[in-house]
Copies of this chain bind each other. A is one copy, B any other.
Amino acid sequence: MAATIKAIATAAGVSRGTVDRVINGRGGVSPEIEQKIKKLIVDMNYTPNRAGKVLAGLKKPMKIGCMLPSIDNPFFYDVILGLKQSERELSDFGVSIEIAQVKGFDPNDHIRAIKELIAKNVSALCVSTVDVPAVQNVLNAIIQKGIPVISINSDLSHTNRLCYVGCNYAESGKTAAGILNLIRKEPLEVLIITGSLNMQGHNQRINGFIKTLQDKGIKHHIAEVIESMDDDHTAYTRTLCALKKYDRVNCLYITAAGVAGACRAVEEQNLQDQMTILTFDDVPATRELVLKNVIAATICQEPFKQGYESIKILYDYFVNGAAPKKTHYFTDTVIKIKENI
């Protein structure tokens, strides 16, 4: 067991309160005593005991606000399970979470939800939002007031967010290409169905995919890149149209939501046997299509862990006051096929 505040106080010939002031930089200690204590902290190799901090901290509980565009978006279901699991594990330590769920990606809706969380007196924030100036400004103002913010699943630029927890989109795109390389039936004629060309993550998946195909010298041609707007119906109609237009397509690369819609178009055209379909994430509709052998593989990103770790990081920051070691906490790129899904 390491040294305690009491041991340091005894060694310095002062009270525990004074040692506490120095350790936590609360000020109001004479320079000589401060130096003496600081030296002892180093010499005696003091590290604050978390169990002690936790118990004392029970007097001022911590509420963490989470804002997710999760309404009608099953991807976030596992993220929320992760958030709640963390909450359960930390509830005895005075932690609770408040989840604000939003539908879609309208910046104004997101800002409103974030402000509501702040009004509920949260002491930290964990958000998955859109990376636009209006949102950035709101968050920076909040951070300025001393409320730490983490970006989850989708990162934010131009903000002082503590860190990002989420998918490594470029790697996930590369991995899709790697799987395709193993399966390969050259020449590849690829139809790319992305969520939105305005989404950073989706674009990184496309770029990582294409770059890897090129690097590997795989003969391929991109028929077209179409947008599903993360919507099944749009995905269906646009995929159907594209399949008719490009009759040599033998691979569907679907970077985002709309999977069920796109696959329905393939099945209606009875093309599933000659088509290699790669998708992302493991939502129920996707899982079903993997089990049906329609989708060859789906690349996942540990959504549960994203929720789980975000809360742990914010709690650690709250207790220790130390910023997390990394700015990017990438979850693993996980390949799921029928047998291990």
Binding site for B on A (CB under 8 A): 1, 47, 49-52, 54-55, 58, 61, 92-94, 171-172, 174-175, 177-179, 182-183, 212, 296-297, 332-340
Contacts and interface: CB of A to CB of B under 8 A. Distances in A.
Contacts of A333: 339-340
Nearest to A4: B58
A91 to B, nearest CB: 8
A51 B92 contact: yes
22 contacts: A1-B58, A47-B92, A51-B58, A51-B94, A52-B55, A54-B55, A55-B55, A172-B340, A174-B339, A174-B340, A175-B339, A175-B340, A178-B338, A179-B182, A179-B337, A179-B339, A182-B297, A333-B339, A334-B334, A335-B335, A335-B336, A335-B340
B51 A212 contact: no
B340 A178 contact: yes
Nearest to A58: B51
A62 to B, nearest CB: 12
A178 B339 contact: yes
Given A92-B49, A182-B182, A1 B335 contact: no
A338 B61 CA distance: 46
Given A1-B94, A179-B337, A334-B335, 11 more contacts: A1-B58, A49-B58, A49-B92, A50-B93, A51-B51, A51-B58, A52-B55, A175-B339, A178-B337, A182-B337, A334-B340
Contacts of A182: 179, 182-183, 296-297, 337
Contacts of A340: 171-172, 174-175, 178, 332-335
A204 to B, nearest CB: 14
Contacts of A51: 51, 54-55, 58, 92-94
What 7 pairs across the A-B complex have the smallest Cβ distances?
Answer: A178-B339, A50-B92, A335-B335, A175-B340, A333-B340, A175-B339, A174-B339
A50 B171 CA distance: 39
A55 B57 CA distance: 13
Contacts of A1: 58, 61, 94
Contacts of A179: 182, 337, 339
A259 B335 CA distance: 22
Nearest to A168: B340
Contact of A183 (B58, B172, B183): B183
A178 to B, nearest CB: 3
A335 B174 CA distance: 14
B212 A339 contact: yes
A49 B94 CA distance: 10
Nearest to A54: B51
A292 to B, nearest CB: 14
